[in-house]
Structure 1
Amino acid sequence: MRITVLLLGLFLVPIPAAAQQGFSCSYGDRGACLGYGDTVCSSSGKCVSESAVCFDSYQCNYEGFTCKSNLTECADEYGALQTRFNVLVNDYNELLEESQVMRAEFQGAVEDLDDTRRDLRRTEETLYEIRSCIEGLSGLDNPDNCLP
């Protein structure tokens, strides 16, 4: 019975030399012991973090390595904002053109008002002269002489 327990103990306790014998590397590679948090990089420099996600081949669409992510929504939102911006620019340009036409029409109306005021002043002055002339006439004077 002692021999059985002894043999069982030998099988349960790993011998360091026996444990290392099962480790092998491909031709040209070297074995290494990694500590907690260490990463393994290939000779081509492709390293990944522990939170990296691997994708199947051909999983990504025409947008590249990002696959289906928030980049798609971002691109769609950008396109919508660009369309809205273009509509606003067109609206602004139309309003600017309308305001320039209205400004020109308003300026013309102001000039017409100034001309009308000038004509009114001249007419009032002429009327005043005619009234003064008629008031200064004697009974024998011809009132036609007071007309301009």
Structure 2
Amino acid sequence: MTSLFTSYFLPLVLVITIFNFQTSLCDISADKALITCICRQVQDLQFCLTTFRQIIPSHPYVSEEVTRAAITKSLQNANDNHAFVETAKANAKDNETKDLYSICDSSYGLLITVLQDTAKSLANKDYNGLENDLSKCPQFVSDC
């Protein structure tokens, strides 16, 4: 079940490493290098690059904008996954399967809450809060 959700969780995984990179506001090649360097850390480089180009179609790729885009996309995907899990749980035939989906239901509910908190932290420039919240997110998906 984890592999089903992995590609949708990609942008969030990227956000966790964004603040380790520096970029220039006026150097397009440095901006592209930021995105490429981040995307090389995931399994599907092309999906990652395409996702960021769709969300942020123009220069500059500054850390704050990349982070905002990744959180927004991750929140959208978390909501989609949560809806999928709720439907699958309702359609499950046996209690064991329902129990497994209940874990995912709780995990994605918590993930959505934490992602909403990260968006608020970013808006308030509370980078410590942002990093603290983001560090919790992979566990929610992994629990599912």
After TM superposition, the score normalised by the length of structure 2 is: 0.23
After TM superposition, the score normalised by the length of structure 1 is: 0.22
Of the two, which has the highest radius of gyration?
1
By relative contact order (CA 8 Å, sep 6+), the higher-ranking structure is 2
